Structures are given as C-alpha cells and as structure tokens.
Copies of this chain bind each other. A is one copy, B any other.
Amino acid sequence: MNRPLASLETPALLLDEQRMDRNIARMREQARRLGVAFRPHVKTNKSWDVSRRLVDDPEGPITVSTLREADYFFEHGVRDILYAVCIAPNKLDHVLGLQARGARMSILVDSVEAAHIVAERLRAHPQGREVGVLIEVDSDGHRSGVKPEAPELLAVASALKEGGIEVRGVMTHAGSSYDCRTPEELRAMAEQERAAIVLAADRLRAAGHACPVVSVGSTPTALAAENLRGVTELRAGVFVFFDLVMAGVGVCQVDDIALSVLATVIGHQREKGWTLLDAGWMAMSRDRGTSGQPVDQGYGVVCDTQGRPMEDYILVGANQEHGIMARRPGSAGSDDFLPVGTQVRILPNHACSTAAQYPAYEVVGTDGNVRETWPRFSGW
C-alpha cells in the first residue's frame, strides 16, 4: 500500500522512519550508558505511533507539556505521566480526574504560594495524596523554578509537608542549552544542570525530605552529559526528530533530521532568483530558531525528494501559504529554476513548532514512499 510522494497534496509533513529510529536508539543508549531511567518528553511528537517506540513499558514513564497530551497518552495505556509545567490551579481538577481514573500523575510547583494551593486541593481529594509533587529547580535562569541554593526551596517543601503532602522530588530543564555552540559549552551546561539538581536534592534530604526523584533533561544536555551522578531520570523530546536548531547547536547532523515538509513549486520571480513554493510560514511555523545561530537557515533548508539538501537553497522568506526558495544571501552561482509542479522537502528550524501545524505524519520508508499515516494532535 506504499504511496509515492508524488501522490500527496502539499504541504504535507514527512517523517523519515529510519532516521527517527536511529535517533531514538541513540538517546535510549545514552540513558542506559548514564545509568538513569528515561522519561521521554512527548510534546514534540504528540503521537502514540511515535511515542510507543520511546518506552519499554507501555505504561510509561513519559513527560507531557499539556494535559491534552496526558489525556491522549492515558487513553493509549500510559499511566506514569509527569506534567512538566508548573501547575495552574485551574488544571488541578483535570489532574485529579486522571489520577482517579488510574493514571500516576506528577506535577510541578516552584513557590510557597503554589505549594499551599496544591496541598489544600490534593488533601481534599480521595486520590490527591497519590499525585507526585515535584519542585522545579532553576538551573540556568531561562524560565521558572527555584534556585537550588535558595531558602525558598526548603520553604516550598515545608509548605507541602505542612499541608500533608510529601515532596516527591526535584526536576530541572536547562533550556539554555539551545544557546550552546561548542561541545565544551554543552558539556559544561549538562554538568551545570546536574550539579544544580543534585544540590537541590541534597539540601532537601538534609532537611528531612526523602526526595526520591531527581529529574533532568533537554536534548542537548542529555546527549552531552558525561555522567549523571545523583540523577534518577532523564527527559528529552526533540531528539526523536531533531531539527536545524539542534544541528546548529551541534548535537546532530543535518542528515539526522527525520522531519521535513513536502512542498511543490508553484511559480517563480526569476529576476530575483525566487522559486515560489506552496509551503509558507503556516506550513513551516513562524519559528526562526536558527536566526541567532552562526548559520541562519531562514525558514528551512530545501532538499530534493530523497531528502538531500540542495546546495545553498533555503526558504529566504515566507508568506502565510507561500514559501520563497532562493540561494542563501551571499551565495554565488546561477539559478537553475525547478519547473512548476516539482516537489521538494524542507527541513524545519524547530521540530516542535513545525509538527504542531499538521494533523498527521506521512511516514516515509526506506524505499522513499509513504508507508503509513500516523495521526497527531495539537492544542490544549
């Protein structure tokens, strides 16, 4: 039932199965080597067809970024779910509902204020005390979390305990690793992430909290870490597909990128060197994550239908449904314009944001044809 790419209406989201499997094997081996449990983040893929390849046990563990992900993966049999965004009070009923139906939920807090709210609501619910409450630790200053050395850390744990809830552990996400440029910077950031979370766990234990869970992760730090002493679990998500940002960070090669957008040539502005495609920013997302990197890839790198980059061609611009393919600024050479109707594949800056624009993955097998369509979802 394999279908050629030429049979697809464009734009369409292609997933190279072989590359994906290679990326997954690499990360799972890394977690094994580091001696920690692996709790994959499913926010990038939002698909059971993908995520089932990330776990040995269909019950998990997994990490989610939305409760819609929690609902969906619970329906597919996953039970051990960490919702890795500090909890908003309006989501507690939803979390408790999942717990009552058999999920083993974990949530985050990073303030005494939130700890009081959470403790009160969990205590009032029959399954509330079974929900794991982790404290988010700020290891790199890029978003939420308490500083590992701050008095607030112990105050949050105490507020939970006074409310009848034992802190389950600590977690951190060194999202600043996306700004690293060299292997040395990556290793240093991974060690910074590890050291911060271990310091937080040690302080909590010294204050009498058991703190069994010590959780770290981001794709760059997970792949760069030399050791994770004191850590119990590793989280990562974007590695499944990789993308141009990750290639720019240096944790993958361009030919590891498993996700691409299939597009079609619809016209030209020859005097400008432009080839117009039917994939604009709605198809690629507005993510320009490589704009601050040494190599700015525009809205994506243009490849032929076999996925081989076409030298120097990127999407230099995008309208809502129009992509402008041209040689990258400063490139020499004369243009050999592709005819109207030609298909190309575009590698995305950021897999999370590009994939979010599509209802499904068209899974491309080793013969270059589409062998299956895997649904995915977006939203909350």
Contact = CB atoms under 8 A, between A and B. Distances in A.
Given A117-B341, A282-B353, A340-B117, A89 B138 contact: no
A357 B379 contact: yes
Given A91-B9, A286-B286, A266 B114 contact: yes
Interface string A308-350: 0000000000011110100000000000000111010000000
Interface stretch (A32-40, A80-88, A98-106, A196-204): A80-88
Interface string A125-163: 000000000000010001110000000000000000000
A192 interface: no
Interface of A: 6, 8-12, 43, 65-67, 85-91, 94, 110-111, 113-114, 117, 138, 142-144, 175, 264-269, 276, 278, 281-283, 285-288, 319-322, 324, 339-341, 343, 352-353, 356-359, 378-380
A143 B266 contact: no
Contacts of A352: 282, 320
Grouping DSSP codes into helix (H, G, I), strand (E, B) and loop, the A interface class, with mixed when no group exceeds half, is loop
Nearest to A282: B356
A234 B152 CA distance: 59
Contacts of A285: 285-286
Nearest to A7: B90
A264 B88 contact: yes
A272 to B, nearest CB: 8
**Best-surrounded residue of A264, A282, A339 (most CB of chain B within 10 A):** A282
Contact of A357 (B65, B111, B321, B378): B378
B142 A89 contact: no
Max count, chain B CB within 10 A of own CB: residue among A67, A85, A88, A378: A88
A282 to B, nearest CB: 6
Nearest to A114: B340
Contacts of A281: 287, 353
